[in-house]
Amino acid sequence: MGLIAAVQSQPVYLDSMATARKAVELIGESSSLGAWLAVFPESFIPGNPEFIIRSAPVSDAFQGFEEAFLEASIQVPGPETDLIAAACAKYEITVAMGVTERPERSGTLYNTLLYFGSDGSILGRHRKLMPTYPERMIWGMGDGSTLRTIETPHGIVGGLICWENYMPLARMVLYSQGEHVHVAPTLNPGTEVWISAMRSIANEGRMWVVSVGGFMTADIIPESLMEYGLYEPGEVINAGGSVIIDPMANIVAGPVYGDEAILTAEVDTAIALKGKRRFDVVGHYGRADIFDLNIRGQQVPLEIRDGVRIKGLSDTIWTVPQQTT
């Protein structure tokens, strides 16, 4: 399959266009290392709404940060995604990018994972199904139609965002589509519990897992927001802890803490398929004869036979209209 890259980097906090430009540089760097896939953290554009765990929703601090976060959220497609798509085409690389999305004429924000193809197209998106605890003050809930994988020349890629990865049925929907590489962008990974969970998921699905965390220091908080006193100058808010794991649950890159880094690993579909020969959760271990799984009224196959797509799901949210020039 080739090289994949986990991009642990700080955004230009709450400046979506500047962060998109930084992403372009990181995409180029990942390509220069030989990667065909680069994975970025959750909500890399416009950054991590970490302020939600430090301030009460009725406080001036929360409302100040929230307003800035809303203004920095992006539309898809839009000028920021155009920059990233052009970089993907230039460097012929596939990218999984975490963004906070604000649909046109909507006040609801979505925690979204965008997939960009090596031809510069936006192949699809996944909206986080269930924002975690205080995140529900910021993000709306995805509707389930975006539980999809993308097919690339190197293999089938799917992903879940942060604690969605703890949802067994959401994982099963992606497994049923034949994942070879599972991306798990998150805000604050790197704990022993999180890494253990990522290793377990790799073992369960017999696939490569790329967990990319949001490295963040107080140095990136705008001065106007630092005045609220939520952060200490120089404070490490999220240490990162990105990691790449093989289909037999071995850590092959990382974890890296306290710095920006691009982790790489050589991945091979054959290793995933070899692992599935012993344990295939959507094959001989699926027991499709006794279990059923449905999503939005559509049956999810628990045994892969002909093809990997779930028939019947609407593409109105999953796909992204391409801008015309």
Catalytic residue, from 50, 162, 204, 276: name it: 162
Low-confidence ranges of the chain (pLDDT < 70): 1, 189-190, 305-309, 311, 323-325
Is 161 a domain residue? yes
Is 135 a domain residue? yes
* Active site annotation includes 311: no
Residues 149, 127, 285, 277, Cα dihedral to 10°: 40
Within a 13 Å sphere around the CA of 71, how many CA atoms are in the beta-carbon half? Answer: 9
Alpha helices (runs of H) in 155-231, residue ranges in sequence order = 168-175, 192-205, 223-226
Catalytic residue, from 66, 128, 135, 204: name it: 128
* Active site annotation includes 128: yes
In angstroms, rounded to a whole number, what is the distance separating the alpha carbons of residues 81 and 179? 25
Question: Which whole-number Å values give the CA distances from 92 to 32, 49, 85, 113, 207, in the listed order?
Answer: 11, 31, 10, 19, 24
Is 259 a domain residue? yes
Question: Which whole-number Å values give the CA distances from 152 to 1, 40, 173, 243, 303, in the listed order?
Answer: 10, 18, 19, 22, 21
Q: Note the pLDDT of residue 201.
A: 96
In angstroms, rounded to a whole number, what is the distance separating the alpha carbons of residues 96 and 245? 17
Task: Note the pTM of the prediction, 2 decimals.
Answer: 0.93
DSSP 69-132: HHHH-B-SSSHHHHHHHHHHHHHT-EEEEEEEE--TT---BEEEEEEE-TTS-EEEEEE-SS--
Within a 13 Å sphere around the CA of 278, how many CA atoms are in the beta-carbon half? Answer: 10
Q: Note the pLDDT of residue 324.
A: 53
In angstroms, rounded to a whole number, what is the distance separating the alpha carbons of residues 94 and 117? 5
In angstroms, rounded to a whole number, what is the distance separating the alpha carbons of residues 236 and 256? 14
Q: Look up the domain containing 75 and give its range.
A: 2-299
Is 314 a domain residue? no
Q: What are phi and psi of 18, to 5 degrees?
A: -65, -35
Is 322 a domain residue? no
Which CATH number do you get for residue 50?
3.60.110.10
* Active site annotation includes 135: no
Is 249 a domain residue? yes
**Residue whose pair of structure tokens reads 């990018």 in the numeric block:** 97
Please count the structural domains in the chain. Answer: 1
Strands (E), the chain: 2-8, 35-39, 94-101, 110-116, 122-127, 150-152, 155-159, 181-185, 208-212, 216-217, 236-238, 240-245, 251-257, 261-267, 294-295, 298-299
In angstroms, rounded to a whole number, what is the distance separating the alpha carbons of residues 101 and 264? 28
* Region for 28 from its dihedrals, namely left if φ exceeds 0, alpha if ψ lies in -120 to 50, beta otherwise: alpha
Q: Note the pLDDT of residue 309.
A: 63
**Which secondary-structure segment (H or E) carries 19?**
helix 16-32
Is 320 a domain residue? no
Burial label for 233, CB within 10 Å (0-12, 13-18, 19+), is exposed
**The two structure tokens encoding residue 307:** 């093809």
Q: How far is CA 289 from the centre of its chain?
A: 33
Is 24 a domain residue? yes
Residues 19, 263, 209, 39, Cα dihedral to 10°: 20
